[in-house]
Chain A
Amino acid sequence: MRTIEKIVLLLLTILLIMSVNVKATADYFDPYHLFKFRVPVGWIFQVSESETDLLVFYGPSQDELLYIEYFKEISDQSSLEFAERVIEHYDSVYGLVDFELVQELELKEIDGISTADVVYSYSGTKNRTEHRIFAVLHDYGLTITFSDAHDHYHEGEVQFELILDNWTWVR
């Protein structure tokens, strides 16, 4: 192989690697152009699991899951009120099995918006831990949830924190 061919091949390889990296860390714009966030490497949007009011992403490990749900009509006046009402349901007799708060409800600012932040565990098909953000914006509500099997929760939570750090409200 001639030198020039080697250089071209090398350049092409670099470009290919760069394009993969760009894709892996691409920003995700939601279909309603309400927010965007940086999708961590190895996280994949799940078309078949997502619906018009639900976005689902699977992480690289077996049980990692990120899901975002929209609520067009919401009567709660604040993120905290929204979160408190929902937690009450989750913690009721008809709520989640073995529901337990891992981290008390607290306020968290995400890109200048005050949201409510909570971590809890429950028994589903596996024992799971979920980190959920509740947000009430102008005319809609949103929850952003990272979920994983209880035993692996802390390994993936770092990624979730990165997602929240890079979160941008578009509107």
Chain B
Amino acid sequence: MKAVVIVFLVLLFLLYPSIALGSQNHLLANFEKKIGLSAREQLLAIYGGEVILPLHKHLILHEIFNRLVRVVKGGEHEYSLTVLKSNEANAFSLPGGFVFVTEGLIDLVGFDEHRIAAVLAHEIAHIEKKHGLNAVLRQMGFSVLVELGIFFLEVPPTEAVRAAVQALITVVQSGYSREAELEADILGQQYLARAGFDPVGIIHMLSDLSKTEGLEISKSIFGSHPQTSDRINLLLENAVSYWSPPIPIQENTISINSKEDPLNRFAIRSIVNEFGQNVLSVYDYQNETEVSWLADLTICDLVFSPDGLTMAAVVEEQGEYSIYIYNRFGNFTERRQHERGHAIQNLVFSPDGEKIAYNSVTKDSSSLWIGFINEITRLNIAEDFTGIIIDWNKTGLIVVDEAEQYYCISPPKTYSAVLSDPVPRIIERKPRFTLEISRSSDGNCIKLIRPHIFNF
């Protein structure tokens, strides 16, 4: 018996480096599952138990999760997803394939499928890279290896295994190492792209979280270190790799979209301003006047989104260029300041209206950028390629270089999380919105009382 244990110890010591490198290890799979399962029960109790989301949210959430699980290579784990009944915005995973998100997190992201997918992909990456297991083995050191030897001889779990579960819970709640977090970010981004979700979803998610950091609503989600800004920068660099390189195309295959208002109310006009510059203005046919909300700005370029609901304008202010985003009714929603000395040219909306492409031009160079509307994300998609942006159609961004060769640069392919077999909705009637009238006590005036409206 003693000899068998020694053999196991030797084997485990030999296998330890390969565990740290994240390779598959069937010997530890059972142990992983056991400690994951035990920790799951304890974490469920800590977080107030599981909650079942309403029917359609539940189905979509699992559709997103299953799409991600399908692209994980190896398939060593049987993955499960649990939604925790907690207002804290959090997500974590346990060895053996257990992934958790809180209701608070789902509320925070407003059920945005790319953001939810980003969270789940990051947690799946932690499991695939065995970050939890490795952290426990590092913490427990030799003692757990001895106990593992006994464990594999099918002796019931001992104190050391129970201690491993406690160590795991501590690790999960306090966050992984900087290296583990960065590794999960990059691998998670890869899973997103493979599963047809936008790889920038993880950047948007981290950006959301950075806004809540001071509010203490997110505690250990995605780990507390490294700095969110470092992670975002790394992910931004990596996100560019999911765009295709410029692929030469024939000129006659291009149809250029109009830059005019698709709803035909506004017209973009070129005018000369008080400084003698050639600038743009927008004429409103309905009110038969120039739009007032652009009147004081020097507009160098202006485009409408394909649905006509958003417009983007390049504004120059004392040599500095910014992109101003307005909705159709003239409400300003966003301003993106650009690097000093870089002019912005050739604004083009993506067909879905969620992104905008532009050239950033200096005396010596021109680069291609993509900005995401209402998000912090900006990608320099073709660092070593200069070309003028012509259009953005369904195949991708159309660019022409100095030799008048046309190219297409395609974004990563994404598709919406829809149920392959649809489930009909359940609808309840909203209460009638009628005002109750009651007379004031002195009888001199009446009060209008708005009835209570249920939230559906």
A76, B423: Cα distance in complex, Å:
11
B429 touches A65 (CB 8 A): yes
Q: A54 near B: Cβ within 8 Å?
A: yes
**26 A-B residue pairs with CB within 8 Å:** A49-B427, A54-B425, A54-B427, A58-B429, A62-B429, A62-B432, A63-B429, A65-B427, A65-B428, A65-B429, A67-B427, A69-B425, A89-B423, A90-B426, A94-B59, A122-B426, A124-B426, A124-B428, A125-B428, A125-B454, A125-B456, A126-B428, A132-B424, A141-B422, A143-B424, A145-B424
A3, B422: Cα distance in complex, Å:
65
B55 touches A90 (CB 8 A): yes
Q: A14 near B: Cβ within 8 Å?
A: no
Chain A nearest CB, measured from B454 CB (Å): 5
With contacts A75-B420, A141-B422, A145-B424 known, what are 9 further pairs, Cβ within 8 A?
A49-B430, A73-B422, A90-B55, A94-B53, A94-B59, A95-B55, A124-B426, A124-B428, A147-B429
Chain B nearest CB, measured from A77 CB (Å): 12
Partner of A64, one of B58, B59, B429, B456: B429
A69 touches B424 (CB 8 A): yes
Q: B404 near A: Cβ within 8 Å?
A: no
Nearest-CB residue, chain A, relative to B455: A125
Q: In the complex, which residues of chain B have a beta carbon less than 8 angstroms from the beta carbon of A143?
A: 424
Which 9 A-B residue pairings sit nearest by Cβ, starting from the closest?
A: A94-B58, A65-B429, A143-B424, A71-B422, A94-B52, A124-B428, A89-B423, A69-B424, A67-B427
| Chain A positions 109 through 151: 1 when the CB is less than 8 Å from some CB of chain B, otherwise 0 | 0000000000000101110101010000000010101010000
Chain B nearest CB, measured from A36 CB (Å): 21
A74 touches B421 (CB 8 A): yes
Which B residues have a C-beta under 8 Å from some C-beta of A? 52-53, 55, 58-59, 420-432, 454, 456
Q: A56 near B: Cβ within 8 Å?
A: yes
Q: A85 near B: Cβ within 8 Å?
A: yes
A141, B423: Cα distance in complex, Å:
11
Chain A nearest CB, measured from B296 CB (Å): 37
B58 touches A96 (CB 8 A): no
Partner of A94, one of B55, B420, B424, B425: B55
| Chain A positions 50 through 73: 1 when the CB is less than 8 Å from some CB of chain B, otherwise 0 | 000010101000111101010101
Chain B nearest CB, measured from A71 CB (Å): 5
Q: A8 near B: Cβ within 8 Å?
A: no
Which A residues have a C-beta under 8 Å from some C-beta of B? 49, 54, 56, 58, 62-65, 67, 69, 71, 73-76, 85-86, 89-90, 93-96, 122, 124-126, 128, 130, 132, 141, 143, 145, 147
Partner of A96, one of B421, B426, B431, B454: B426
Total of A-B residue pairs, C-beta within 8 Å: 60
A89, B423: Cα distance in complex, Å:
8
Q: In the complex, which residues of chain A have a beta carbon less than 8 angstroms from the beta carbon of B454?
A: 125
Partner of B421, one of A49, A76, A126: A76
A128, B427: Cα distance in complex, Å:
10
- Interface residue SS majority, chain A: mixed
Chain A nearest CB, measured from B57 CB (Å): 9
Nearest-CB residue, chain A, relative to B58: A94
Q: In the complex, which residues of chain A have a beta carbon less than 8 angstroms from the beta carbon of B431?
A: 62
A95, B53: Cα distance in complex, Å:
9
Nearest-CB residue, chain B, relative to A149: B429
Q: In the complex, which residues of chain A have a beta carbon less than 8 angstroms from the beta carbon of B456?
A: 125
A89 touches B52 (CB 8 A): no
A169, B454: Cα distance in complex, Å:
36
Q: In the complex, which residues of chain A have a beta carbon less than 8 angstroms from the beta carbon of B58?
A: 94
A62, B421: Cα distance in complex, Å:
33
Chain B nearest CB, measured from A60 CB (Å): 11
Chain B nearest CB, measured from A35 CB (Å): 16
A96, B428: Cα distance in complex, Å:
13
Partner of A89, one of B59, B427, B429, B432: B59
Q: In the complex, which residues of chain A have a beta carbon less than 8 angstroms from the beta carbon of B426?
A: 90, 96, 122, 124, 130
Nearest-CB residue, chain B, relative to A126: B428
Q: In the complex, which residues of chain A have a beta carbon less than 8 angstroms from the beta carbon of B59?
A: 89, 94
Q: In the complex, which residues of chain B have a beta carbon less than 8 angstroms from the beta carbon of A69?
A: 424-425
Chain A nearest CB, measured from B307 CB (Å): 14
A54, B58: Cα distance in complex, Å:
21
Chain A nearest CB, measured from B343 CB (Å): 42
A86 touches B55 (CB 8 A): no
Chain A nearest CB, measured from B55 CB (Å): 6
Query: Given A94-B58, A125-B454, A125-B456, A86 and B432 touching (CB < 8 A)?
Result: no
